[in-house]
Amino acid sequence: MLLAGDTFDRFRIEGKLGEGGMGLVYRAYDPMLRRQVALKVVRPEVAQTAVATRLMREGRAAASLNHPNAIGIFDVGTFNGIPYIVMELVSGHLLSAFMGDERVGMRQRLAWLAQIARGLDAAHRQGLVHRDVKPENVMVCNSGEIKLFDFGVVKRMSSLANISNATDPMEKTRTGIVMGTPLYMAPEQALGDAVDGRSDQFAWGTLAYELLSGGIHPTTTNNPRRLPVAFAILREQPRPLSEVASRLPDGVAAIVMKALAKAPSSRFATMAEIYSALDAIILRMDGASSRTTPTTPIQRVRRSRFRQLGLAAAALGLVAVVLFLSHIFGP
């Protein structure tokens, strides 16, 4: 493990940000570009294995994306036989930290889900299927933006309509090999069948179900036989989101449940359909809010002050009238 003050290639290590089974992520300084970056380095013990190939694939795949809702990739390389990726450094919290947080309003949750859908749609348009969409792979930045990251099991396609063709034979995962996190896998992914953007959509639906229900996973709502997660995803239908989440705006539950359809053909054709529908709901919420109450605390304070000033002015006017009448009709 690298320590603060160490150097790796041209990068100066400032501290560790996190670690996983295949590598570690450091905060580092790039003197060439004069900026701080996130440096993902493969563990030395796995540097010569397929794990290293996976990391390089992640870097090349994510580097093709140029979207505000996906982590930016600045560089991919190898130093002393150890592969690394240089990524955009962002500050914030993982989406998983907000799953049961009642302080996060409904509008904010829907806005986050729309941003995730936008990031996935951008990836799909580039012929990339993420295959590991989950709360731990989504960052809620302090700036308010959502960033999708960790493309470690990404699958590159030449066309989402022709999912059997891969642009790079070395990057094609063989059918029958299951990649991803079981809790968020689409049925076809759990079976090892071919996947496309609609498989990511199912994972998005699972994540959305959790976020909107306060952390309830759809598989846990209807699994009377206590099947393992992968089998429950294949066999059991989750309870409708409207039954486990209260005060949902009209249309939201239907969007999520359609994304969770067992058959890919029963889901939305693209993620663009999802974020367009969410945008319309958010716009409707904003319109209703502006017609009833101020939209921000500052506006509420200002409105209260205006009301107080109006009452004061009315009182002064009444006093003036009384004095005027007393002057005219007085003795």
Residues with active-site annotation: 132
Q: Is 134 annotated as contributing to ligand binding?
A: no
Contact 214, 102 (CB under 8 A): yes
Residue 136: is it exposed, middle or buried by C-beta count within 10 angstroms (0-12/13-18/19+)? middle
Token readout for 40 is 């993902």
Separation of alpha carbons 118 and 63, rounded Å: 17
Rounded to the nearest 5 degrees, what angle is found at the Cα of 54, between the Cα atoms of 51 and 57?
Answer: 155
Q: Give the chain's radius of gyration (CA, Å).
A: 26
- Report the 10 Å Cβ neighbour count for 233: 26
Helix, strand and coil content of the chain, in percent to the nearest 5, comes to: 45, 15, 35
Binding-site positions for ATP read 40
